[in-house]
Amino acid sequence: MNIVKVMKFGGTSVGNTDRMRALIPLITDSDRKIVVLSAMSGTTNSLVEITDLLYGDSVNDASVRIEELRVRYHQVVEDLYSTEPFLKTGHELIDSHFDYINNFTLRIFTKLQEKAILAQGELISTSLFHNLLKERNIKSILLPALNFMRIDKDGEPDYFYIEENINRELKKHASNAIIITQGFICRNVYGEIDNLKRGGSDYSASIIGAVLKVKEIQIWTDISGFHNNDPRYVEKTKVIRELSFDEAAELAYFGAKILHPSSVNPARVKNIPVRLKNTLEPDDEGTLITSNSVLLDYKAVAAKDGISVLRIRSDRMLMAYGFLRKVFEIFEAYRTPIDMISTSEVAISLTIDNSEYLSQIAKDLRELGSVEVEENQTIICIVGDFRIERTGSAPEIFEALNTIPLKMISYGGSPNSISLLIDTTNKTEALRLLSRNLFE
């Protein structure tokens, strides 16, 4: 029996015991499937806080937080199971995970141990859920992601390894229809525990779906798919029913929180539809992402905060070749990706969202010319039909935003998006103006 679909449930979908129980009817149809689970919502954040405390040598504070989390999970066990053997197993499971975490308070803390601690959230949620199914006599197996999910030396999925190993593991359980596994966690090139970065469970689901060539990858959250604007800032947003892979990738990358930006790619390469579904409204069709593109003047708007802009000015740039290469090499040396670029003959502006090396990058750039840095910027991305032979769309956007200072504009890079840079203080206003003028 082939695996038909991957169903990934995010942190809020397993966020409490009612929500966990509510997943049962969703996964018990006759399709053979992989169920990818995140950690219960809030858990990974708590684990990050604990590792931060351990890095800062605040061992006592870390122990307090570990015990608080342990108590919360014992309560989850109490609420989740109704029979004695499963209650007992549940409490033992929680203690074994928290004893393990607690052990790290006794040692010098390293990156390796941090990753091992962060993995506990998904290891716990999947075990709890697997045991819940067992208690209900629903057959399922728990396939450890650490047995097949792996990244290479550049941190990219090692597809060859993953495909070989997941298929080998699945052969052992050929008669099982429900296969549960952890999102987010993996091994690195040394075989150590690692992860696919925050929010990475979506990415796990997409990678698994791609290597198994399933019919559909489903990402279940608590909202019915991509909205045409950010519902946290704008009223009357609407669900977008269909998106192309390219459009979804732009929206995910430029701020729409619903999907991890990297997760579009594995599905796109194998042309596997991705469906975003809502666990609170399972009958809602959600958003379907495919290679099909239904062109609309404007489809959606998203915003990405935490952007820094660097403006470099140099007369040496005038009619020179090789200048941009020198600029880019500096970003490369600090492994910092560039998002937006805009150039004139003697100046160039670039944005980055990872400001870890901002001051070093600025310092190195000063060797090339004068450099200005501004933080607290936001990229607004408008997804729609911006093929360069068309007229009319760009002016409408600028007209809508004529009261907002636009600090950079990126047009012509992609046929399906325009990006603008603004001060973060103007974000809410900009999103509202765009909704009012483009969608209402």
The contact set with ligand ASP (CB under 6 A) reads 10-11, 38-39, 44, 121, 183-184, 198-201
Closest CB 202 distance from ligand ASP, rounded Å: 6
219 phi and psi angles, rounded to 5 deg: -110, 110
Closest CB 14 distance from ligand ASP, rounded Å: 10
Return the number of the residue (8 or 311) whose C-beta is nearest Mg ion: 8
Strand partners, 288: 242, 275
Closest CB 232 distance from Mg ion, rounded Å: 15
Residues 182-201, one symbol each (x = binds Mg ion by CB under 5 A, - = not), give: -----------------x--
188 phi and psi angles, rounded to 5 deg: -95, -170
Dihedral of CA atoms 160, 162, 168, 173 in degrees, nearest 10, equals -150
Instruction: Look at phi and psi of residue 243 and say left if phi exceeds 0, alpha if psi is from -120 to 50, else beta.
Output: beta
Closest CB 196 distance from ligand ASP, rounded Å: 8
Return the number of the residue (13 or 419) whose C-beta is nearest Mg ion: 13
* Rounded-to-integer distance, Cα 267 and Cα 107, Å: 41
And the tokens for 409? 């504009």
Closest CB 292 distance from ligand ASP, rounded Å: 27
Residue from 116, 280, 119 nearest 184 by CA: 119
Q: Which does 121 bind (CB under 5 to 8 A by kind): ligand ASP, Mg ion, none?
A: ligand ASP
Candidate residues 5, 6, 10, 426; the one interacting with Mg ion per rule CB under 5 A:
10
Return the number of the residue (36 or 289) whose C-beta is nearest ligand ASP: 36
Residues 70-99, one symbol each (x = binds Mg ion by CB under 5 A, - = not), give: ------------------------------
Q: Which does 12 bind (CB under 5 to 8 A by kind): Mg ion, ligand ASP, none?
A: none
Q: Which does 44 bind (CB under 5 to 8 A by kind): ligand ASP, Mg ion, none?
A: ligand ASP
Closest CB 196 distance from Mg ion, rounded Å: 11
Q: What residues contact 55, with CB distance under 8 A and at least 6 apart?
A: 109, 114
How many residues make contact with Mg ion (CB under 5 A)? 2
Closest CB 327 distance from ligand ASP, rounded Å: 33
Handedness of CA 286, 291, 296, 297 (dihedral sign): positive
299 three-state secondary structure:
strand
- The type of residue at 362 is A
Which is it for strands 33-37 and 216-221: parallel, antiparallel or unpaired?
unpaired
Return the number of the residue (199 or 273) whose C-beta is nearest Mg ion: 199
* Rounded-to-integer distance, Cα 63 and Cα 7, Å: 35
Return the number of the residue (181 or 351) whose C-beta is nearest ligand ASP: 181
